[in-house]
Amino acid sequence: EDKVVQSPLSLVVHEGDTVTLNCSYEVTNFRSLLWYKQEKKAPTFLFMLTSSGIEKKSGRLSSILDKKELFSILNITATQTGDSAIYLCASRYGNKLVFGAGTILRVKS
């Protein structure tokens, strides 16, 4: 059965801390791994990863994929209260996505 497992399930940090969110996957016919940030409404796209070892960066966020070990990490440096959200990773096979349960991140001021 295809599955995506995220850890930790929730995390509370202080502003300025660096966090690492984990995502492991077991998906047949894997195509890519995606990270989304979900605040009050629909998820917003962060990164799509298809190749191992190539870090993608956007401001304070970065992500990398390891296709051999079947996992990805999302790093957020110098966290801000606006980073508080649910972070979802999803593995794509064909045109479908399998989502992990998400990591609830809360950044305290």
Partner 1 sequence: GAVVSQHPSRVICKSGTSVKIECRSLDFQATTMFWYRQFPKKSLMLMATSNEGSKATYEQGVEKDKFLINHASLTLSTLTVTSAHPEDSSFYICSALYRTSGTPGANVLTFGAGSRLTVL
Chain residues in the site for partner 1 (CB under 8 A): 34, 36, 41-45, 48, 86, 88, 90, 92, 95-102, 104
What is the CA angle 23-88-98, rounded to 5? 75
Nearest partner of 64 among 103, 25, 22, judged by Cα:
22
> Least Å distance between CB 78 and partner 1?
26
Nearest partner of 103 among 82, 81, 77, 74, judged by Cα:
74
Q: Which is nearer to partner 1, 42 or 59 (CB)?
A: 42
Q: Which is nearer to partner 1, 27 or 102 (CB)?
A: 102
> Least Å distance between CB 16 and partner 1?
26
CB 98 within 8 A of CB 90: yes
> Least Å distance between CB 34 and partner 1?
7
